[in-house]
């Protein structure tokens, strides 16, 4: 039964009142309200802040946001060179606003997208309409609406009475997984039952350890019948043995009392399946955030770091991070570059740093590129953060890489010239 204290009830009420609600799709004439909380089947109220109190959610969101924020974000021209003369390069790579570095800004944007499904920033422009700054906004205060003609507006609530309405070209909108391409879906909202179950398991485990893993039971008093005062006094005395400071102390049973069963005195966390439930919940949350459990230091006897870390990093980059990286690159290109600039400039994350742990694979990769004339030695040195070397800007190939139809002709030509 819903009550006025149920956050999910207020969310549904506000959605109905505003018209459209927090839907999976932003239809024409509808409104998408921010995700502020949801109720689970177990009665838990799950919010992004409450979910972050789980170590697994904290670790997954932190790993994804910090890893992406640590990657250099460049603006390159059509020659693949760094476009450092373009004013947008400094904003993307160094400092998007007066209060944040680039890594701090992108970390907050990605974290908002992971938790709330959407990350927002105001695009500030100067007198010549060039981008001058990107200012982060709280996703829980942003409301997205779509008119019947398809025009999108962003309403940002500042306090309880004030609000600002932005047009689509004024907001940098980083969307998470989406069903319509207009608003992202919150992983916390759609996996609230999983997160709520993990919170319940943690609370149950804490309660068991707080009570020294002691279970309630029965005492035999024989044929004697206690009055209400004696019964209440006995309960109070027995309750003290459930406190942690009394662990291991002896209980005195008087007047012929004896325990009904020795098995009721103590239980183990293994019997209560708390450890198993918590273990499974960690993997479920990792699956939600596309994060290998080993990368947040959740390992078992069947897994190890040394044997598969390099392959795991590559898989994490390919399937876990690359979709978000591409989404950011395309978002920046669409919102921060003019149509003419998009023909000349391309925003691009440098992901080579994530692959440096695979020294053997990296060495073989560079060797193949150098021997086949794909990269120069100075380009390889730049990827390794090494200074350029004089005379290392030429493309080279192996001499034995000769077309089949030319085999033997060079030797024959040399012999004829010597004759």
Q: What is the per-residue pLDDT across 200-223, written as a single tens digit (0 to 9) for each?
A: 877 776 666 665 545 555 566 666
| Confidence check: pLDDT of 19 > 50 | no
Residues 352, 363: one domain? no
Percent of the chain with pLDDT over 70: 70
Residues 130, 48: one domain? yes
| 36 assigned to some structural domain | yes
Nearest CA among 62, 50, 60 for reference residue 288: 60
Give the model's pLDDT for residue 241. Answer: 63
Mean pLDDT of 175-192: 92
Give the model's pLDDT for residue 13. Answer: 46
Give the model's pLDDT for residue 332. Answer: 97
| 196 assigned to some structural domain | no
Confidence of residue 45 (pLDDT cuts 50, 70, 90): confident
Q: Quick one: which H or E segment has residue 114? A: helix 102-116
Give the model's pLDDT for residue 20. Answer: 39
Residues 125, 23: one domain? yes
What tokens appear for 156 in the block?
């940002």
Residues 249, 117: one domain? no
CA–CA separation, 235 and 217 (whole Å): 12
| Bridge partners for 173 per DSSP | 120
Percent of the chain with pLDDT over 90: 41
Give the model's pLDDT for residue 272. Answer: 53
Domain region containing 259: 214-266
CB 393 within 8 A of CB 378: yes
Residues 82, 131: one domain? yes
Residues contacting 93, CB < 8 A, separation 6+ = 72, 73, 74, 75, 102
Residues 383, 323: one domain? no
CB 75 within 8 A of CB 345: yes
Residues 261, 309: one domain? no
Backbone angles phi, psi at 201, to 5 degrees: -65, -40
CB 15 within 8 A of CB 22: yes
Predicted confidence (pLDDT) per residue in 98-125, tens digit: 999 999 999 999 999 999 999 999 999 9
Give the model's pLDDT for residue 303. Answer: 52
Give the model's pLDDT for residue 210. Answer: 61
What tokens appear for 106 in the block?
């992108």
| Confidence check: pLDDT of 254 > 70 | no
pTM of the model: 0.73
Average pLDDT, the chain: 80
Total domains in the chain come to: 3
Residues 121, 158: one domain? yes
Q: State the helix-helix crossing angle for 102-116 and 55-70, rounded to 10 degrees.
A: 140
């Amino acid at each position: 039964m819903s009550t006025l204290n149920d956050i999910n009830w207020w969310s549904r009420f506000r959605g109905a009142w505003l018209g459209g609600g927090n839907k999976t799709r932003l239809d024409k004439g509808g409104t998408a309200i921010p995700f502020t909380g949801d109720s689970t089947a177990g009665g838990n109220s799950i919010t992004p802040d409450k979910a972050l109190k789980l170590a697994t959610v904290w670790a997954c969101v932190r790993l994804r946001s910090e890893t992406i924020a640590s990657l250099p974000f460049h603006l390159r021209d059509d020659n693949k060179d760094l476009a450092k003369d373009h004013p947008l390069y400094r904003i993307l790579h160094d400092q998007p606003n007066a209060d944040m570095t680039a890594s701090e800004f992108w970390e907050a944007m990605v974290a908002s997208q992971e938790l709330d499904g959407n990350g927002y920033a105001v695009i500030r422009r100067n007198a010549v309409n060039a981008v001058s700054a990107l200012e982060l906004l709280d996703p829980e205060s942003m409301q997205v609406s779509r008119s019947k003609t398809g025009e999108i507006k962003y309403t940002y609530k500042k306090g309880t009475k004030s609000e600002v309405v932005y047009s689509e070209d004024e907001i940098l909108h980083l969307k998470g997984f989406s069903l319509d391409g207009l608003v992202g879906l919150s992983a916390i909202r759609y996996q609230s039952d999983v997160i709520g179950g993990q919170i319940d398991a943690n609370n149950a485990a804490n309660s068991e350890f707080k009570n020294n893993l002691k279970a309630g039971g029965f005492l035999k008093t024989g044929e004697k019948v206690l009055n209400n005062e004696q019964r209440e006094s006995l309960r109070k005395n027995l309750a003290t043995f459930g406190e942690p400071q009394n662990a291991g102390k002896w209980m005195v049973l008087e007047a012929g009392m004896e325990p009904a069963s020795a098995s009721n005195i103590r239980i183990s966390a293994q019997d209560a399946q708390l450890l198993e439930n918590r273990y499974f919940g960690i993997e479920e949350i990792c699956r939600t955030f596309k994060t290998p459990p080993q990368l947040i230091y959740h390992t078992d006897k069947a897994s190890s770091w040394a044997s598969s870390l390099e392959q795991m990093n590559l898989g994490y980059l390919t399937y876990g991070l690359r979709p978000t990286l591409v989404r950011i690159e395309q978002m920046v290109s669409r919102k921060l570059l003019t149509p003419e600039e998009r023909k000349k400039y391309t925003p691009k994350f440098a992901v080579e740093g994530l692959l440096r742990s695979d020294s053997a694979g990296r060495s073989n990769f560079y060797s193949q590129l150098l021997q086949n004339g794909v990269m120069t030695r100075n380009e390889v040195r730049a990827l390794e953060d090494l200074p350029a070397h004089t005379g290392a800007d030429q493309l080279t190939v192996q001499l034995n890489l000769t077309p089949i139809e030319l085999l033997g002709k060079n030797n024959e030509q040399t012999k004829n010239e010597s004759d």
